[in-house]
Structure 1
Amino acid sequence: MREQASALLTVAAGGILGALARYGIAAAVPVQAAGFPWSTFGVNVIGCLLIGMLMSLPAKGLRRLFLGTGVLGGFTTFSGFAVETERLLAGGHLLLTGLYVVGTLLAALAAVAMGARLAR
Structure 2
Amino acid sequence: MTILLAALGAAIGAPLRYLADRFVQRRHDSAFPWGTHAANATACLLLGLAGGFTLPEWAADLVATGVLGALSTYSTFGYETFALLRERRRFLAFANAAASLAAGLGALLIGLAVAASVTGAA
TM-score in terms of structure 2 length = 0.88
In the alignment, which residue of structure 1 is the partner of 2:21? 26
SS of residue paired to 1:62: helix
1:59 aligns with 2:66: no
CA deviations over 1:65-84 (Å, ceiling 9, x no partner): 00000000011000000010
Structure 2 CA distance for aligned equivalents of residues 43 and 20 of structure 1 = 11
In the alignment, which residue of structure 2 is the partner of 1:84? 80
SS of residue paired to 1:35: coil
Report the AA paired with residue 68 of structure 1: A
Report the AA paired with residue 67 of structure 1: V
Structure 2 CA distance for aligned equivalents of residues 42 and 83 of structure 1 = 16
The answer on whether the counterparts of 1:34 and 1:88 sit within 8 Å (CA) in structure 2 is no
Report the AA paired with residue 17 of structure 1: I
CA deviations over 1:41-74 (Å, ceiling 9, x no partner): 0000010000011011012141100000000001
The answer on whether the counterparts of 2:24 and 2:38 sit within 8 Å (CA) in structure 1 is no
Q: Identity percentage over the alignment?
A: 31
Which of 43, 62, 66 pairs up with 1:47?
43
The answer on whether the counterparts of 2:21 and 2:38 sit within 8 Å (CA) in structure 1 is no
| Segments of 4+ moved more than 4 angstroms | 31-34
In the alignment, which residue of structure 1 is the partner of 2:4? 9
1:37 aligns with 2:33: yes
CA RMSD of aligned residues (A): 1.6
**Count of matched residue positions in the alignment of Structure 1 and Structure 2:** 115
Structure 2 CA distance for aligned equivalents of residues 111 and 34 of structure 1 = 23
Report the AA paired with residue 64 of structure 2: G
Gaps of 5+ in 2: 117-122
Give how far 1:28 is off. Answer: 2.7
